[in-house]
Structure 1
Amino acid sequence: MNNNKEMNPMIESETIELKKSTSELKEGVISIVSILNKHHKGKLYFGITNNGRVVGQQVTENTLREVSKAISEKIEPKIYPEVRKETIDGKDCVAVEFKGENTPYFAYGRAYMRVADEDRQISAKELENIILKKSAAKWDSIISDGIIDEIDEQELKEFVQKANQAGRIAFKYSNRKNVLEKLSLIKDGRLLNAAKLLFSKKEPIELQAAVFAGTDKTTFLDIKQFKGNIFQLLKISEAYIKEHINWKALLKERTRQEIPEIPIRAITEALVNSFCHRDYQAPESNKIAIYKDRIEIWNPGEFPDRYKPDDYIKQELPSILRNPMIANCLYLSADIEKWGSGLKRINMECKANNLPVKLRVLKYGFSIEFTRQNTGSSSSTLSEGLSEGLKSLLNIVISNPGIKAIKASELLVRPIKTIERQIKELKQKGLIERRGSKKTGGYWIVKQ
């Protein structure tokens, strides 16, 4: 992004730091930390002297990467700044805009505090006070800019009903204000962050979901971006996975039971874990990636220090909550069964179904990965008596449920008219069917 600006002479302040060039990158990183520890947001410019004179500097993609890398590697906890090229008074500069509430922040292993336009190392006593203050207020308990009118009343009613049925709250629904007060989700007429994320009509959270043709991200068959509150996205994400996994039919006398390749209970637990424990200050979205051989559910946010996922499976450990108010509401609605038991329950469900599952702590987040099973129709039995052309198309549909004709044409490198003719033949033989609308639908194996 290249912004052209003409500016009045800029001066350094408690929230603005100026550096002549990226040769002062280390000092700039320290300034970011010192500003965050006092004001939680600020700006840093390279290419402007500390007296406000714009001198500019060479700014390439590599320059922006180096700045981003230094910030990523040298600041703890992680922050997610916007690093961009700006043309100021006709000269190229680097602008860094940053924010963060997860104090104290450290640069190169030390904590700093902004005093006027200088960065001063924090004393042990000051650091202790910051930590004590932080422990008293989590991000989800901070007052947001939301108001009661933006609360989705129907969603709140459904929540109260579920919590009543679970026997975890005794009061009935009356009105939005009363319910939010009883849940301690409102203060001075303003929504806490937790209330906004759980119940807002203004779609505060984004979810990215995609289905890929193979075992990597080279070719995607479907990609969606959903927005909503936590309860809405829990429903949407579970429905999306159910739609794109394989199911087998178990026939018993006159009954037919549909069995998914991955236990739905395990999927639900993984999704709740993802939305409950994510870092909502990070700009990244929750992600669902459905590959040919696995399903990954990812959220931004570091795993608790000193622990590994296996510790929560093998031991009875207390849950370390990044978002305790959100977690409490998910517990009241019985979306969380018991504190600290989610990963253990996922492991038990998968183990009972002989399904491998991986719990992966990544650099910028946490991922739960389910190995897919071939529970759908077998290509060897379905393709008997078919031509090679029909067999290959049938295999593509088996491997990629919901595939569109145009995507099958691309994967098989076959003219679209040929694909459409072969689809017609497979439909006539009762092997595949079309589901969904003309615009968004695709082809699926007919369950035998």
Structure 2
Amino acid sequence: MVKEIKTKEFLFKIIRKGETETVEFKERFCDEVIETLTAMANSFGGRVYLGISDKGKITGVKVGKESVQKWLNEIKHKTNFKIIPDVEETKINAKTIITFSIPEYPNKPIPFRGRYYKRIKNSNHLMTIEEIADIYLKARNRSWDMYVDTEASLNDLDFEKVNKLIGKINENRDIKIAEDPLAFLRKYDLILGEKITNAAILLFSKKPLFYSEIQIGLFQTDTIIKKSLTIKTDLLSEVDLVMDFIMSHITKEYIITGKPRRDERWQYPLSAVREFVVNAIIHRDYRSGVHSQFRVYKDKLVIWNIGKLPSSISIEDLYSGSEKSTPRNLKIAEIFKEVGLIEKYGSGVKRAIDEIVSYALPKPEIKEISGGINVDIFGEKSSEKTVEKTVEKTVEKTVEKILVLIQKNPLITQDELSKKTNLSRRGIEWNLKALKEKGQIERVGPD
């Protein structure tokens, strides 16, 4: 059904603005009109105006008695009856303009001749297989981590890790979780019946996981690596282990203020660094099999993580905090929020940037590189330090610290080691295991 539309002034305003993400001009009806309508339906909706050139000149379009119905039928057939746009007609100086309007469709993606398009700025782009999968899952409020790993079983899960997680969640709750580990996993849909979700494997796997691998290193230059570590464990442990490595290889300053106790100042605000670490882990595209990279330099930290931003979010949105958070892994994000590693969806990056800037450091640089997101966090240059400080470098190797403490007190516990080294309990466990495997220590007695 053709409807008479809006005022001429409205149309002139659209023409002056030109083609955009939601506006396209065509002089006549053709397959590109249908392609654009599907791209808009897969993106944010929009309008295609027939009878206007791409330069904004009103050319008009010839409309016969059955033209509009014929066009609508063609659109329906070539999209498998998925979309039916609204049609509006306007006359300007005896020239007819036909407008096809399409909303953003809830059940995306919509194909055109077996291909899927999305709208970027003022043009259509063919979607990749990964983008098709992402838009399909997002449209159904699902994500990859919520689906079942058909090769996994309950025997693949470490229930002690589940118990530890429940304990951490209870630390932040007035009403405690009373369920046993299996009931907890079912309550949070981490297992479905007897089937194990991808999220459950990533959070509680007994075995090392190649697709959760993190490579972290201490770099003298881009090509000279002084120390490196490969981490292949559960995601919650990865947060602690990455932070332990970073804290062991950045500087900590003691500021003499005249108080009985000296103030500590790390090279970077640790809570902001942790936010970027957590963000990388929960937004990573684990389907790719590509490892995350963390680089520690003398004067900067570099984080690279596989997985592009959603098309609805730009780098500028991250800086401004105006993005609406859409976690790539909804179930993992939910668990991280329960344990207190995420405060509020969508607020973390902006908050971390503000904290770094208020720490008198340069604004971090965020950009898309090689199919992922790269973050450079810059340190303070030594020439810019104006406060009298006593500097203690914390780059002494973690292993050496632990060995010295054990030599002084062979009965020292893991909790005591954790307090004396500022490492997490997981970090201590990891390093003790490495020392045992190298035959440098033999653990006797309680932990």
TM-score normalised to the size of structure 1? 0.54
Q: Which residue of 1 aligns with 2:376?
A: 369
- Aligned-partner SS, 2:247: helix
Query: Aligned partners of 2:135 and 2:274: how far apart in 1?
Result: 34
2:239 is aligned, of 214, 229, 234, to 234
Does residue 289 in structure 1 map to residue 295 in structure 2?
yes
Pairwise mapping of residues 220-231 of structure 1 onto structure 2 (< 5 A)? 220-231=225-236
TM-aligned CA deviation for residue 160 of structure 1:
1.7
Structure 1: tracts of 5 or more residues without a match: 1-102, 113-121, 383-396, 405-435, 442-448
| Distance verdict in 2 for CA 1:110–1:148, change over 3 Å | same
Q: Which residue of 2 aligns with 1:336?
A: 342
| Distance verdict in 2 for CA 1:159–1:366, change over 3 Å | same
- Aligned-partner SS, 1:143: coil
1:207 is aligned, of 211, 214, 229, to 214
Pairwise mapping of residues 87-106 of structure 1 onto structure 2 (< 5 A)? none
Query: Aligned partners of 2:282 and 2:243: how far apart in 1?
Result: 15
TM-aligned CA deviation for residue 171 of structure 1:
4.5
TM-aligned CA deviation for residue 241 of structure 1:
0.3
2:139 is aligned, of 135, 139, 142, to 135
Query: Aligned partners of 2:397 and 2:182: how far apart in 1?
Result: 46
| Distance verdict in 2 for CA 1:375–1:196, change over 3 Å | farther
| Distance verdict in 2 for CA 1:159–1:105, change over 3 Å | farther
Q: Which residue of 2 aligns with 1:91?
A: none
Query: Aligned partners of 1:129 and 1:197: how far apart in 2?
Result: 20
**1:289, 1:296 within 8 Å by CA — same for their partners in 2?**
yes
Query: Aligned partners of 2:242 and 2:163: how far apart in 1?
Result: 21
Does residue 179 in structure 1 map to residue 184 in structure 2?
yes
- Aligned-partner SS, 1:248: strand
Does residue 219 in structure 1 map to residue 224 in structure 2?
yes
Query: Aligned partners of 1:302 and 1:178: how far apart in 2?
Result: 35
Q: Which residue of 2 aligns with 1:79?
A: none
Matching residue's letter, 1:285: H
TM-aligned CA deviation for residue 254 of structure 1:
2.5
Pairwise mapping of residues 19-418 of structure 1 onto structure 2 (< 5 A)? 110-111=115-116, 135-136=139-140, 137-144=142-149, 145-167=151-173, 170-204=175-209, 205-214=212-221, 216=222, 218-251=223-256, 252-356=258-362, 357-374=364-381, 401-402=395-396
| Distance verdict in 2 for CA 1:370–1:331, change over 3 Å | same
RMSD: 3.9
**2:299, 2:381 within 8 Å by CA — same for their partners in 1?**
no
Q: After superposition, what is the alpha-carbon deviation per residue over 1:126-164, rounded to whole angstroms, capped at 9, x for unaligned?
A: x99996566324211110132223322332222222222
Query: Aligned partners of 1:128 and 1:199: how far apart in 2?
Result: 29
| Distance verdict in 2 for CA 1:129–1:351, change over 3 Å | closer
Q: After superposition, what is the alpha-carbon deviation per residue over 1:244-266, rounded to whole angstroms, capped at 9, x for unaligned?
A: 00110124432133311100001
- Aligned-partner SS, 1:280: coil
**1:336, 1:342 within 8 Å by CA — same for their partners in 2?**
yes
| Distance verdict in 2 for CA 1:165–1:375, change over 3 Å | farther
Matching residue's letter, 2:139: S
**1:148, 1:177 within 8 Å by CA — same for their partners in 2?**
no
**2:218, 2:296 within 8 Å by CA — same for their partners in 1?**
yes
| Distance verdict in 2 for CA 1:235–1:131, change over 3 Å | closer
Query: Aligned partners of 1:130 and 1:226: how far apart in 2?
Result: 27
Q: Rg larger in 1 or in 2?
A: 2
More strand by share: 1
Matching residue's letter, 2:359: N
TM-aligned CA deviation for residue 175 of structure 1:
2.4
Q: Which residue of 1 aligns with 2:75?
A: none
| Distance verdict in 2 for CA 1:135–1:228, change over 3 Å | same
- Aligned-partner SS, 2:344: coil
**2:109, 2:136 within 8 Å by CA — same for their partners in 1?**
no
| Distance verdict in 2 for CA 1:233–1:128, change over 3 Å | closer
Query: Aligned partners of 1:294 and 1:133: how far apart in 2?
Result: 36
**1:247, 1:375 within 8 Å by CA — same for their partners in 2?**
no
- Aligned-partner SS, 1:247: strand
Q: Which residue of 1 aligns with 2:103?
A: none
TM-aligned CA deviation for residue 200 of structure 1:
1.4
Query: Aligned partners of 1:188 and 1:256: how far apart in 2?
Result: 55
**1:148, 1:176 within 8 Å by CA — same for their partners in 2?**
no
TM-score normalised to the size of structure 2? 0.54
User: Structure 1: which 4+ aligned runs deviate by more than 3 Å?
Assistant: 103-106, 109-112, 127-134, 400-404
- Aligned-partner SS, 1:146: coil
Give the count of matched residue pairs: 273
| Distance verdict in 2 for CA 1:146–1:257, change over 3 Å | farther
**1:246, 1:375 within 8 Å by CA — same for their partners in 2?**
no
Matching residue's letter, 1:224: L
Q: Which residue of 2 aligns with 1:99?
A: none
TM-aligned CA deviation for residue 316 of structure 1:
3.6
| Distance verdict in 2 for CA 1:179–1:310, change over 3 Å | same
- Aligned-partner SS, 2:262: strand
| Distance verdict in 2 for CA 1:276–1:375, change over 3 Å | farther
TM-aligned CA deviation for residue 298 of structure 1:
1.6
Q: Which residue of 2 aligns with 1:409?
A: none
| Distance verdict in 2 for CA 1:333–1:366, change over 3 Å | same
TM-aligned CA deviation for residue 240 of structure 1:
0.4
Query: Aligned partners of 2:245 and 2:335: how far apart in 1?
Result: 24
| Distance verdict in 2 for CA 1:296–1:181, change over 3 Å | same
| Distance verdict in 2 for CA 1:105–1:220, change over 3 Å | farther
Query: Aligned partners of 1:154 and 1:105: how far apart in 2?
Result: 44
**2:116, 2:132 within 8 Å by CA — same for their partners in 1?**
no
| Distance verdict in 2 for CA 1:287–1:177, change over 3 Å | same
Q: Which residue of 2 aligns with 1:410?
A: none
